[in-house]
Amino acid sequence: MDKKMKIVFLVGEFPKMTETFILNQITGLIDEGYDLKIVSLNKSKDTEIAEEVKKYNLLEKTEYINVPRDKKTRLKKAINLVLRNLALHPVKTLKSINFFKYGKVALTLNPLYVNMFFLRMKEEFDIIHCHFGQRGLYGANLKDIGIKGKLITSFYGGDLSYFVKQTNKNIYKPLVNNGDLFLPLCSDFGDRLLKLGFDKEKIKVHHIGINLDKFSGIKHNFTEKETIIMTIARMVEKKGHKYLIEALPNIIKSKKNVKCIFVGSGELKESLVSLAKKLGVDKNIEFQDSVSSDKLPKLYAQAGIYVLPSNTTADGDSEGTPASIVEACASGLPIVSTYHAGIPEIVIDKVSGFLVNEKDSNNLAEKIIYLINKPKLMKDMGKVGREYVNKEYDIKIQSKKLIDHYIRVLNNKKV
């Protein structure tokens, strides 16, 4: 296939520090000799930018729709968009605000902004790759108005959990009808797509990929004398920081020289700090702000165990395949996590780490204590995890697979 294939990524915000899995796909395709354009609804609010963004000149490849975040401003600007485009594109404009077909998604007015932006670009793409199901629906609406290109959608987590719960099980019907390929990041998500009515022949599990070179050669000091437990994640409910904090009193009773490092920001940070003080473990926890992806290897190198107690939240939100677990495995760390979404596909229980039930602080503590008492097991589990990730989550391999998906879809072949 000619490497002049025209590819566009449709994303929500760019560049976003917590979405390294999208960044890796972009740089992976570029490394394979393909060029692409990034269309983002908005600029990210992140203050730090990953080195890869600069190295690959990705901001020069990005165009921003600039959808107003304020609802009143968004509505006002949307009315102007409709009035301006009705004469030029009457049918396409009306299809862009099809509330009957797209329901709550159309009410956000995002499809209107996306459609009008693509019409103004006057570019044709071979591949329109939408990231997260919500953006896939915007892509489905693009097809409604005649925008050409094969429509591919990657699903990552919340788009198959709380989003469906907050809308309805038929929310993805337009995408089911208009999409050409659906890429869930784990088998569990593939099953969810089937239950939502997606065509089995168009579903292909596609794991996230990471740059393994970043994490190779990391050495850990596995010892009982002092253990650092690392968690790198947004401080939101589904990441489960709370359950690790609740487990700490039992861990510290058994092992005094234990320290937790929480790296990330989020809405729950203050409540987590308060919980740590309430339980008397605040001296054993260090809270650090989010960092760019190029600084992650040094953090993993400090740790002896990586812990992420992911769980399904009250509103139905859940993880997909946490990139941090893949990175931690690649760095050679043993993992303690939960039976949740795609995590059991990365962490092999009792082989590369331990899995416990969601929200089970007591069992979480037991597994961590057990690992701390067995430094050789920590090392052995870390080695197995690294070997597995090297086979299944290497961005070089995953990029080649993604390109193969593109080519097959363009040639109307079964993926």
pLDDT tens digits, residue range 50-77? 999 999 999 999 999 999 999 999 999 9
Confidence of residue 223 (pLDDT cuts 50, 70, 90): confident
Q: For residue 281, what pLDDT is reported?
A: 98
Q: For residue 414, what pLDDT is reported?
A: 80
Confidence of residue 2 (pLDDT cuts 50, 70, 90): low
**3-class secondary structure, 150:** strand
- Is 366 a residue whose pLDDT tops 60? yes
Mean pLDDT of 326-331: 98
**pLDDT tens digits for 241-297?**
999 999 999 999 999 899 999 999 999 999 999 999 999 999 999 999 999 888 999
- Cα 176 from Cα 153, distance rounded (Å): 10
Mean pLDDT of 208-219: 94
Q: Which of 3-12, 72-81, 214-223 has the lowest mean pLDDT?
A: 214-223
Average per-residue pLDDT in the chain? 96
Mean pLDDT of 99-116: 96
Q: What percent of the chain has pLDDT over 70?
A: 100
**3-class secondary structure, 201:** helix
DSSP line for 292-337: -GGGHHHHHHH-SEEEE-----TT----SS-HHHHHHHHTT--EEE
| Those residues with Cβ within 8 angstroms of residue 161's Cβ, 6 or more apart along the chain or in another chain | 312, 316, 317, 318
- Is 1 a residue whose pLDDT tops 80? no
Higher per-residue pLDDT: 2 or 294: 294
Mean pLDDT of 89-100: 95
Contacts 24+ apart (CB under 8 A), 94-100: 95/141, 95/144, 95/145, 96/141, 96/145, 98/141, 98/144
| Under 8 Å between Cβ of 23 and 294 | no
Q: Which of 9-13, 272-276, 290-294, 306-310 has the lowest mean pLDDT?
A: 290-294
Helix locations, 13-129, DSSP H: 20-31, 51-55, 71-86, 90-95, 99-107, 110-121
- Cα 92 from Cα 157, distance rounded (Å): 31
| Those residues with Cβ within 8 angstroms of residue 53's Cβ, 6 or more apart along the chain or in another chain | 15, 23, 59
Report all structural domains of the chain as residue ranges with CATH numbers, in order of start: 7-209+394-410 (3.40.50.2000), 212-392 (3.40.50.2000)
* pTM, two decimal places: 0.94
Q: For residue 221, what pLDDT is reported?
A: 84
Q: What percent of the chain has pLDDT over 90?
A: 92
- Is 132 a residue whose pLDDT tops 80? yes
Mean pLDDT of 146-151: 98
- Is 410 a residue whose pLDDT tops 90? yes
Confidence of residue 217 (pLDDT cuts 50, 70, 90): confident
